[in-house]
Amino acid sequence: MSAVHLQLVDLCVSFNGFRAVNNLNLSVNKGELRCLIGPNGAGKTTALDLICGKTRALSGEIRLGDKNLTTMEDFEIARAGVGRKFQVPSVFRQLSVRENLEVALCRQPGVFANLFRRGRSGDGLEHLAEFVGLADQLDEPAANLSHGQTQWLEIALLLAQDSELILLDEPTAGMTAQETRKTADICNRLKGKHTIIVVEHDMGFVRDIGDVLSVMHQGSLLAEGTADEISANERVREVYLGSMGIHGA
């Protein structure tokens, strides 16, 4: 059993009195791929927002290894080793694919270090672009990419960033079955080297990649276990899986 990498302790946050996350406790081991599932509004995305510093916790604590992320600024959290893919693909639309990757490759975040470095380092970026199938679009502005390609670019950005902890918010949204399979492949390949948390609705995808699932409901953890254990869980069926017919895959 490996060491605990990420730990959330009694995390609470409220938006205008609505407790989006309520006493959430979660711990993820190093190198583990954890899927976070739950009905809409369960607080999954908010939980990711809290970890990466987009939202501030009302109370509770977030620890990454021996670092306390709770009060850090968002860019400090990123430096501490947290990378995030957003639900809505957000890439730099006016920059080319290559430039997007250059930005993501944040070896030295300091201002002056970057002032005296060339804009094009090129090390290994072609390789990365090839890996996600964007080798021919390297000099294309990201604005010209299709939705699927934008998703791939964002995944490539995460790979370039090379964080210890990777947060993926609905990585397969808008992808074809084939692309979803490729995403699952990438996730499986990253597993072990990186700690990954995936928020996803697509149960098939979750079964493909997840060792342990955590089910959230109304801002707290409802259940935790393997895919089979979760499917068998009465409470989970009641609040979430019962409605799978509506969500679809």
Q: DSSP code of 194? A: B
The residue among 232 and 249 lying less far from other proteins, judged by its C-beta, is: 249
Q: Which two tokens stand for residue 108?
A: 């030295």
Q: What is the rounded distance in angstroms from the CA atom of residue 125 to the CA atom of residue 127?
A: 5
- Sheet order of strands, 67-68 included: 18-29, 4-15, 59-64, 67-68
Told to check if 88 binds other proteins by CB under 8 A, we report no
Told to check if 162 binds other proteins by CB under 8 A, we report no
10 Å CB burial of residue 148 (0-12, 13-18, 19+) is middle
**Looking at 6-14, 25-33, 171-179, 186-194, which segment touches other proteins (CB under 8 A)?**
171-179
Q: How far apart, in Å, do the first and last CA atoms of the chain sit?
A: 33
**Which 3 state secondary structure label does DSSP give 208?**
helix
The residue among 9 and 106 lying less far from other proteins, judged by its C-beta, is: 106
Strand pairing report for 59-64 and 67-68: antiparallel
Q: DSSP code of 2? A: P
Told to check if 75 binds other proteins by CB under 8 A, we report yes
Q: Which of 2, 40, 90, 243 touches other proteins (CB under 8 A)?
A: 90
Q: Which of 40, 121, 226, 243 touches other proteins (CB under 8 A)?
A: 121
The residue among 112 and 248 lying less far from other proteins, judged by its C-beta, is: 112
Q: Which two tokens stand for residue 188?
A: 């499986």
Q: Which of 9, 58, 72, 106 touches other proteins (CB under 8 A)?
A: 106
Count CA atoms within 13 Å of residue 88 on its CB side.
1
The residue among 139 and 234 lying less far from other proteins, judged by its C-beta, is: 139
The residue among 62 and 230 lying less far from other proteins, judged by its C-beta, is: 62
CB of 239 to other proteins, least distance (A): 31
Told to check if 71 binds other proteins by CB under 8 A, we report no
Q: Which of 3, 16, 66, 139 touches other proteins (CB under 8 A)?
A: 139
Told to check if 32 binds other proteins by CB under 8 A, we report no
Q: Which two tokens stand for residue 168?
A: 């993926």
The residue among 71 and 146 lying less far from other proteins, judged by its C-beta, is: 146
Which among 109, 52, 114 has a CA at the least distance from the CA of 84?
A: 52
Interface positions with other proteins (CB under 8 A): 52, 54, 74-76, 78-79, 83-84, 86, 90-96, 98-100, 102-104, 106, 109, 111, 114-119, 121, 126, 133, 135-139, 146, 148, 157, 161, 176, 178-179
